[in-house]
Amino acid sequence: MRVAVLIPCYNEAVTIAKVIADFRAALPQATIYVYDNNSRDQTCAVAAAAGAVVRRERLQGKGYVVRRMFADIEADAYVLVDGDDTYEATDATGMVGMLADEQLDMVTGTRVTEIKAAYRPGHRFGNVMLTGLVRQVFGRGISDMLSGYRVFSRRFVKTFPALASGFETETEFTVHALELGMPVGEVRTAYRDRPEGSASKLRTYTDGIRILRTIVTLVKEERPLQFFSFIGLLLLLGGLLLGVPVVLEFLNTRLVPRLPSAVLATGLMLLSFLSFACGLILDSVARGRKEAKRLSYLAVPAPTARTDPQAGAWPGKLTRELPAQAG
């Protein structure tokens, strides 16, 4: 079984050596990759000295790094973790084991902590709000959408579009899995504060707005009927609020003294019907795109867990089922 540990890094010289050592101890059979994203400190040198395979991505942003890692690296299971030493490496064994044994495509490490400095109230509230919004639209299955600790199958990685540029890439992970109905799982994992000298790159309000914008964009792209129906409903209500008094006055007096209101109400009603029509048309387009993505996903062989007492760290060993040969 080929396991790859993927660590995107930006100015993590203080923590990266410990992260590499911890994951090498937890997953001794794995290859550890560190992708540096224009760090201004000694992240690359420290990671190389710790024994990781070090590569660079010049485009700034975690989304660009994830896109590059998923495109370059070949493995059967991919462990994605931040390089800030806030996640528990020992839980990776159970996460990979769950992926293999239950034939899942994504296992998320849901963060559990009582340390306020590690998981600030603003970040916690934003995560709960954004996760709840995604769960309402795309379905349940993920309780910590913004976790940076995940294990993926090969078929997830090689069919993931990776369109985001920054921290909103975690939102894309979740929506991609839920929209295609992939089997997913969760493992509770301890989450700790960054060590002294290490600073978070997450900007609470700026990145929160970008993640919210990404959710709205994904709703528009994946659920256009609901998106444009909602807009059409708002336009319809606006048209009725403006138009009903004009119509009632016309029925009583046979006059239209408020002509601008009548024209505006007519325009809103037309836009409302146009929005509903756009939703119907784009829903057919989105369905075709979803079918194409599903076929692409199914083209990648699924991992199969086999009972093997010599498997090592977990009871299942990942193998691949090959199609039967004719004759």
**Residue 14 shares a structural domain with residue 134:** yes
Strands 3-9 and 77-80: parallel
Same domain, 197 and 281: no
| Strand partners of residue 187 | 109
The tally of domains found in the chain comes to 2
CB 172 within 8 A of CB 161: yes
In a domain, 308, yes or no: no
- The pLDDT score that the predictor gives to residue 118 is 53
197 and 253, same domain (yes or no): no
Residue 65 covered by a domain: yes
Position 37 scores a pLDDT of 94
Is residue 20 in some structural domain?
Answer: yes
CA gap 240, 165 in Å, rounded: 41
- Whether 44 and 127 map to the same domain: the answer is yes
147 domain-assigned: yes
Give the Cα separation of 66 and 166 in Å (integer).
9
Collapse the DSSP code of 5 into the 3-class scheme (helix H, G, I; strand E, B; otherwise coil) and give the result.
strand
257 falls within a domain: yes
Query: Tokens representing 165?
Result: 């540029």
The amino acid occupying position 159 is T
CB 77 within 8 A of CB 152: yes
Position 322 in a domain: no
SS (H, E, C) 92-107: HHHHHHHHHHCCCCEE
Question: How high is the pLDDT of residue 319?
Answer: 38
Same domain? For 164 and 80 the reply is: yes
Which residue range is the domain that position 257 belongs to? Answer: 224-296
pTM (two decimals): 0.83
* pLDDT value at residue 120: 63
pLDDT value of position 117: 54
Query: How far is Cα 65 from Cα 80, in angstroms, rounded to an integer?
Result: 11
Residue 123 lies in a domain: yes
Three-class secondary structure of residue 78 per DSSP: strand
Verify that 267 and 202 share a domain, yes or no: no
Q: Can you give the pLDDT of all 327 residues of the chain as single tens digits?
A: 899 999 999 999 999 999 999 999 999 999 999 999 999 989 999 999 999 999 999 999 999 999 999 999 999 999 999 999 999 999 999 999 999 999 999 999 998 877 655 566 666 778 888 888 888 888 887 888 889 999 999 999 999 998 888 888 999 999 999 999 999 999 999 988 877 766 776 777 787 888 889 999 999 999 999 999 999 999 999 999 999 999 998 889 888 888 899 999 999 999 999 999 999 999 999 999 999 999 999 999 877 664 444 444 444 444 333 333 333
Question: Domain check: are 183 and 228 in the same one?
Answer: no
Residues 115 and 238 in one domain: no
228 and 217 share one domain: no
Any domain includes 305: no
So what's the pLDDT on residue 25?
95
